[in-house]
Amino acid sequence: MLSSVIHVDDLSASYQKNKVLNDVSFEVKKGTITAIVGPNGAGKSTLIKTMLGLHPKLTGNVSFWGNSFKAAKKKIGYVPQRGSVDWDFPTDALDVVTMGLYGKIGWFRIPSKKDKEKAMNALKKMGMESYAHRQISQLSGGQQQRVFLARALAQDAELYFMDEPLAGVDASTEKAIMTILKELKSNGKTVLVVHHDLQTVPEYFDHVLFLNKTVYAHGETEEVFTKDNIATTYGGDMQWVGKGDQYVIQSTSH
Amino acid sequence: MSYSMWIILTASLVGLSCGLIGVFLILRKQAMMADGISHTVLLGIVLAYMVTQEVSGPAMLIGGIFAGILTAFLVQTLSSLKVRHDASLGIVFTSLFAIGVILISTSVGNVHLDVKHALMGEITFIPFTTMDLPLIGSIPKATALLLLVLLVVIFFIVAFYKEWKITSFDAALAASLGIPVIFFHYLFMTLVSVTTVASFDAVGAILVVAMLITPAAAAYLWTDKLIVMLFLSGGFGVLSAIIGYWIATWLDTSISGSMALATGCIFFVTFLLSPKHGLVSRWVRPAELREEQEA
């Protein structure tokens, strides 16, 4: 049975004086993979951050399994944008993955052997076990993204938020990440992904949420991923490049 | 213990505690915050003196903590009001420091507290003001204070080691895991403040910045492991203290100035020789390898 994992009701948020989210309301069902798409500055990352309490909300309500974020946070995994951290930090891949477990380890305790094993298994899943002790600045962009994904896997959450996990990664990493996302889905986990590449939406995601400060359309990909919805969400900021049945959209204002 | 041994011990304690705290200043990209707090603790110390009418360790620590947290809070508030972060820091620390300077010269000017002393420190006089501690016996007050602060710093680094690591590396993840990032920010600012206050007598407000930042910046170039960086940075701090004392005796000049110079020398040597980032290793490394690494 499909039940709602996330309820977002009338959420709004601002960056300094600019309102970037306005009256955002939607629900997400268990076991789905949703792409959040929209033009630059549409508030995609802000939406995730606001839902996770990392950015203050102005109005509205967000609940997970009917509870507040605080009560649900142990079941939620978050993958920030790769560019949000300093990759010159003196640490290795395994250590970064272990950080995903810090919330469960508890105060005044250091990661146990078991925690390290868990982290190692997550790295293995991403095909990164041979890089476990590599300093993180020595990893390629795709490998860094895999480390981030492994960290989320180690958290063993029920619900995942991922901010542009496919941005600037190589083809094999993209494949590896999508395999993992499908595996998560088949295990009944729920995933929300901020995504930038409209072309791959129908292939990768079963749900789409069109966002441009507010929700333009949301639902199953087959139903809502239409030219009309893309055009209204992206406004005049894009041009069409006809290529048969494929949507090739280029944002003209960057 | 001899007079010069006390000075070397005190200087080493400064080097050690500043070196440890400095690691997180560098990794959290808050080196400039140290510059700010090192100045504003002057206000805290002056206020503490005005309240208690004496220059005592505990009162100074409390005053320093107050000033440090006030600085962090005001900088945060200003930058949330659309003032750029670096500008906020520039405004806040100079203003608070100015108030400190004015208070020092109008209401509390005396032998123990003057602007020159506050800026440069005077480690030479430290062995003259002693106190008695059980078991240890007679010990200079400033040294005892530094010892206390070092223990506090080590305690907090060890107790919250993984929290420091995650809040420094990825604050957003830390917050999403429910780790109180803001709390750790202020706790860290408190540790910076107490370290600065305790080092004040020895090296003063300006040179404490060198002790906080330079050994840690050098350690950062030697290693890829946080724990090693902490040991190296602390070690460089102590080494700078000893080399500094030696230079000062040799040239008959300011000890604190020589210590700061020694940190600079250690950094320079590091910059030339460090295995991964040093200039020499960059020249020596074969071209193909270099390209591969920079790609």
Tokens 């005592």 belong to which residue? B56
Q: Give the fold, CATH level 3, of B3-294.
A: ABC transporter involved in vitamin B12 uptake, BtuC (1.10.3470)
Nearest residue to A127 via CA among A91, A174, A165: A174
Instruction: Supply the mean pLDDT for chain A.
Output: 89
Span between the terminal Cα atoms of chain B, in Å: 56
CA–CA dist B103, A14 (Å, integer): 42
Q: Where are the beta strands (DSSP E) in chain A?
A: 4-15, 18-29, 33-37, 59-64, 76-79, 159-163, 190-194, 207-212, 214-220, 238-240, 249-251
Q: What is the ipTM of this complex?
A: 0.87
- Amino acid (1-letter code) at residue B253: T
pLDDT, one tens digit per residue, over A54-108 is 999 999 999 999 999 988 988 999 999 998 999 999 999 999 999 999 988 988 8
Answer whether A161's CB lies under 8 Å from A51's CB: yes
User: What is the per-residue pLDDT for A254?
Assistant: 41
Query: What is the phi/psi pair of residue B275, to 5°?
Result: -65, -35
User: What is the per-residue pLDDT for B205?
Assistant: 76
Comparing CB atoms, the residue among B159, B169, B178 nearest residue A108 is B159
DSSP SS3 for B132:
strand
Domains of chain A: 4-89+157-251 (3.40.50.300)
Mean pLDDT, range A142-159, rounded to an integer: 94
pLDDT, one tens digit per residue, over A97-138 is 999 999 889 888 899 999 999 999 999 999 999 999 999 999
User: What is the per-residue pLDDT for A195?
Assistant: 93
Among chain A residues, CA nearest to B224: A90
Give the count of Cβ contacts less than 8 A between chain A and B: 75
Give how far A130 is from chain B: nearest CA, Å. Answer: 17
CA–CA dist A73, A64 (Å, integer): 9
pLDDT, one tens digit per residue, over B73-97 is 999 899 888 888 899 999 999 999 9
Nearest residue to A87 via CA among A96, A77, A79: A96
In sign, the C-alpha dihedral spanning B38, B160, B145, B18 is negative
Answer whether A152's CB lies under 8 Å from A163's CB: no
Indicate the pairing of strand A33-37 with strand A190-194.
parallel
Chain B residues with CB-CB distance to A78 below 8 A: 172-173, 176
Among chain A residues, CA nearest to B222: A90
DSSP H/E element including B260: helix B255-273
B→A interface, C-beta within 8 Å: 27, 29, 82, 159, 161-163, 165-166, 168-170, 172-179, 220, 223-226, 228-229, 293
Tally helices (H) and strands (E) across chain B: 13, 2
> How far is Cα of residue B40 from the mean position of the Cα atoms in its chain?
13
Answer whether A136's CB lies under 8 Å from A93's CB: yes
Below-50 pLDDT ranges, chain B: 111, 294-295
